[in-house]
């Protein structure tokens, strides 16, 4: 059996690239089949991850000038992502447009639309990620897609409904996604885990790359968007524990008060090591939260955008760790630092097992 996965496999984003790696790895490890990621990568996608970018507004060039100060780190980060893609993710030939997917569809027995926000109603390539290409006889599976929102705009509901009806098997990463699909096509579908949870932590430790730090114990801060709120919460944790703050953020180009070390060069392998070896984790990222659960870290999840927070709420509430969601520094107290993972891990493992059973049924 030959399986083609389409997802955001080439994005220079830790969660996006690692979930692509994980789904491919899990299927390869458990099924006798050939698995590749369909290399759907537009020119716009490639430009988005260049270190230096063109801008129309003059003040934006100041940002580009600041990048020169940290060019070696940013270049190292860029190369680390490209090397990870080359060495750990098998891909087809490149498809630069949706039209090319239509003209010469990848030859597989099964198409899987992978995880991350591939079903986002604001996505510009809905037809590609909703598998609207290839012969009708090819089995189409959606594994853990996210809409990124809790509702669909009325003007595109009919479009998404028609696209969903093309799938043989559907699932969703968030319960809100299950409800969206239920409302659109009147079908109950399973709520499954993100692909990063399908494989064992040892698989990640095999590929993680150590980072030289002068700190044996540290608070890792991984921020996607809500840096001010997140840093404030990390600083509160620093007050309680006395530990230094290590921030992973390539766009932090100036020193930040309270932060002891800014890591701008980390690729996916360094990200795994830094998170696995942290004493505490503070993050506004869904995948930052997911890897905290995988490595059983003492973590706090910060909500940057409430309208897009269901992906974090969904998994933490289900396993009984929604108390780890914080909104302001004063919510963190000394007695809240440690997590007893016994009950949450049992609940998470049960959900992982149901997710594997869904995938097994779909692939059979």
* Least confident window among 148-152, 161-165, 298-302: 148-152
Residue 3 CB neighbours (<10 A): 22
pLDDT at position 203 is 98
Q: What is the CATH number of the domain that holds 94?
A: 3.40.50
Both 9 and 147 in a single domain? yes
Rounded CA separation 256/97 (Å)? 40
Both 128 and 250 in a single domain? no
Both 246 and 344 in a single domain? yes
Both 125 and 244 in a single domain? no
Q: How far is CA 329 from CA 169, 283, 333, in A?
A: 43, 13, 9
**For a pLDDT cut of 90, what percent of the chain falls above it?**
82
Spatial CA neighbour of 271 closest among 292, 302, 296:
292
Query: pLDDT for 256-270, tens place per residue?
Result: 999 999 999 999 999
pTM: 0.95
Both 70 and 109 in a single domain? yes
Both 357 and 264 in a single domain? no
Spatial CA neighbour of 170 closest among 123, 127, 111:
111
Residue 50 CA from chain centroid, whole number: 20
Spatial CA neighbour of 189 closest among 207, 167, 204, 215:
167
Helix and strand numbers, DSSP H then E, in the chain? 14, 11
For 180, the token pair is: 């969206």
Q: Radius of gyration (Cα) for the chain, nearest Å?
A: 20
Both 80 and 91 in a single domain? yes
Rounded CA separation 260/215 (Å)? 10
Query: pLDDT for 171-185, tens place per residue?
Result: 999 999 999 999 999
Query: pLDDT for 297-354, tens place per residue?
Result: 999 999 877 766 788 988 999 999 999 999 899 999 999 899 999 999 999 999 999 9
pLDDT band at 120 (very low <50, low <70, confident <90, very high): very high
Which structural domain range is residue 278 located in? Answer: 203-349
For 75, the token pair is: 């270049």
Structurally, the chain folds into a number of domains equal to 2
Both 157 and 137 in a single domain? yes
**For a pLDDT cut of 70, what percent of the chain falls above it?**
97
């Amino acid at each position: 059996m030959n399986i083609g996965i389409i997802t955001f496999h080439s994005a220079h984003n830790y969660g996006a690239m690692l979930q692509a790696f994980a789904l491919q790895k899990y299927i390869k490890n458990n099924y006798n089949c050939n698995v590749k990621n369909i290399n759907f990568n537009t020119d716009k996608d490639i430009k988005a991850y260049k270190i230096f970018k063109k801008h129309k507004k003059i003040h934006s060039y100041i940002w580009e000038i600041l990048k020169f100060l940290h060019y070696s780190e940013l270049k190292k980060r860029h190369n680390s992502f490209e090397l990870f893609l080359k060495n750990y993710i098998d891909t087809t030939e490149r498809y630069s447009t949706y039209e090319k997917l239509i003209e010469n569809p990848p030859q597989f027995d099964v198409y899987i639309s992978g995880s991350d926000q591939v079903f986002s109603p604001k996505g510009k390539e809905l037809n590609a990620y909703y598998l609207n290409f290839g012969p009708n006889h090819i089995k189409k599976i959606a594994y853990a897609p996210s809409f990124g929102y809790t509702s669909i705009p009325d003007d595109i509901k009919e479009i998404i409904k028609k696209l969903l009806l093309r799938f043989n098997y559907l699932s969703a990463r968030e319960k809100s996604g299950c409800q969206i699909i239920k409302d659109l096509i009147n079908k109950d579908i399973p709520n499954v885990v993100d692909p990063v949870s399908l494989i064992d932590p040892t698989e990640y430790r095999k590929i993680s790359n150590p980072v030289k730090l002068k700190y044996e114990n540290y608070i890792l801060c991984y921020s996607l968007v809500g840096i001010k709120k997140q840093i404030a919460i990390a600083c509160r944790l620093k007050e309680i524990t006395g530990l230094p703050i290590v921030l992973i953020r390539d766009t932090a180009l100036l020193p930040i008060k309270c932060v002891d070390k800014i890591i701008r060069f980390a690729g996916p392998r360094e990200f795994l090591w830094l998170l696995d070896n942290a004493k505490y984790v503070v993050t506004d990222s869904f995948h930052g939260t997911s890897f905290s659960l995988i490595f059983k870290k003492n973590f706090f999840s910060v909500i940057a955008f409430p309208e897009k927070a269901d992906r974090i709420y969904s998994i933490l509430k289900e396993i009984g760790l929604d108390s780890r969601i914080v909104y302001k520094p004063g919510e963190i107290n000394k007695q809240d630092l440690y997590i007893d993972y016994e009950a949450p891990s049992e609940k998470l493992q049960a959900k992982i097992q149901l997710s594997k059973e869904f995938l097994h049924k779909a692939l059979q």
